[in-house]
Amino acid sequence: LVANRAFAEDAVSRNGSIATPLNMELTALDKYVATPDPNFEWKIIAQQDLPQGRVYIIDLTSQKWLTESEVDRPIWKHWLTIVRPNDVKSNKALMFISGGGNDSGPPKGPDGRVAQIALATKSVVAEIKMIPNQPLVFHNDGVPRKEDDLVAYTWSQFLKTGDSRWPARLPMVKSVVRGMDVVQEVLREDELPDHQIDEFVVAGGSKRGWTTWMTAAVDSRVAAIMPIVIDVLNMDVSMRNHYSAYGFWAPAIDDYVHHKIMQRRSNPRYVDLMKLEDPFAYRDRFTMPKCIINATGDQFFCPDSSHFYFGELTGEKHLCYVPNGEHSLDGTDALDTLISFFYCIANDIPRPECSWSAGQDGTIHVKCSTPPKRAVLWQAVNEKARDFRVDTIGRAYKNTEIKGTESGEFTVTLSPPGMGWSASLVQCEFDVGAPTPMRLTTGVRILPDVLPFANKAIPTE
């Protein structure tokens, strides 16, 4: 659904932050991914023929990143699993980006969700693991780093040195690009005729969601993307809003505070880091369909974060905030929308076109090209703080059915709570002919529109 641009611009200005500049020139990421690497190789280590299709397990070496003196494991390796149903109908494959550790053995078979999506959509689905390779030890410091600690360490090295080799996003993206190369090659040699893979829909969560955006920025084979729980585009503006809402940095981003990323926002190289790392800097490249799946109770990001980027994205775009979801999205129906969106892309089925605008009087006006099967208003209240993390308020969102949506255009009116703040969103459910429904939402509206710590200075070094 399309956010109101004026509302987003007002939100940006009120935070006193500077949006990430648009960078359409070749970046260090473009150059790194395009550089051939003699270490790239792969081999099929297992092939499973099942009644409904075939599974390939592949040992992939994607690249060499940094030197032996800089990192203990410069050679990046991955497990790549490909599920090819017998009744493949599409030349588009889903590439799902996953995590995992360097010490994990080869998969015995596909992840249950991967197989479920492949069979439900009659499409090739691949999963690439160990994005990033982890744990890694840098500079012989004896500290095995993984996930945010690993990423934040590499950002810190960039801020210290200006060396564009350092951000871990570069090898993370190159790993996915090499994975797509392998999927195409394997399927080209597969025995089932007429199923060559020409394009990919890329999806992943958290750091892998960030990598989803950046893969789309550098590879023209990406036909659509589903970035999941990475609600932080236009990062500097978004994180200023985060601090102004909470008055502190949420514990989930402790690694970035520990490595003094947040404290060095005034460092000139911080702007260079954002031009390299922030998907918002590449926003004019994202012309492909986008289904952005976020969590209303994410431990990392404020639920109104989409206001700072969604209105600036071009081309087809959809937003799906999962009510009562936290960062893992465990126990939610998020997979339904992932399956239905991929099904539509794979089978060239038009997606519902929706827009929304937030009025200064507290209204949310929604307009859809196709009347939704069901529309619901989800709301949560925190009487003490502008904080809607599941860790703080639990799964507090409650839903109310919206009537009078038959035309596809309707308005809901919100009122601020007597005490504290409320968070509200409209969710529209569509039957698109997929095995699961597609649920799209507006952005989250927080009332009153007041940041309690707007004047509190962010700590510096």
Q: What is the 3-state secondary structure (H, E, C) of the chain?
A: CECCHHHHHHHHHHCCCCCCCCCCCCCHHHHHHHCCCCCCEEEEEEEEEECCEEEEEEEEEEEECCCCCCECCCEEEEEEEEEEECCCCCCEEEEEECCCCCCCCCCCCCCHHHHHHHHHHCCCEEEECCCCCCCECECCCCCCECHHHHHHHHHHHHHHHCCCCCCCHHHHHHHHHHHHHHHHHHHHHCCCCCCCCCEEEEEEECHHHHHHHHHHHHCCCEEEEEEECCCCCCHHHHHHHHHHHHCCCCHHHHHHHHCCCHHHCCCHHHHHHHHHHCHHHHHHHCCCCEEEEEECCCCCCCCCHHHHCHHHCCCCEEEEEECCCCCCCCCCCHHHHHHHHHHHHHCCCCCCCEEEEECCCCEEEEEECCCCCEEEEEEEEECCCCCCCHHHHCCCCEEEECCCCCCCEEEEECCCCCCCEEEEEEEEEECCCCCCCEEEECCCEEECCCCCCCCCCCCCC
Q: What is the pLDDT of residue 19?
A: 57
The mean pLDDT values, 10 residues at a time, for the chain of 461 residues are 33 44 82 98 97 97 99 99 95 98 94 94 98 99 98 99 99 99 95 84 99 98 99 98 99 99 96 98 98 99 99 98 99 98 98 94 96 98 99 98 97 97 98 98 98 97 85
Q: Token match 């590879």: residue? A: 219
What whole-number distance in Å separates Cα of residue 398 and Cα of residue 376? 10
The CB-side HSE value for 284 (13 A sphere, CA atoms) comes to 6
141: Cβ contacts below 8 Å, ≥ 6 apart: none
Query: pTM for the full model?
Result: 0.94
**What are 398-457's pLDDT values in tens digits?**
999 999 999 999 999 999 999 999 999 999 999 999 999 999 999 999 999 999 999 999
Q: What is the pLDDT of residue 20?
A: 66
Q: How many CB atoms lie within 10 A of CB 392?
A: 15
In order of their start, the domains of the chain are: 12-352 (3.40.50.1820)
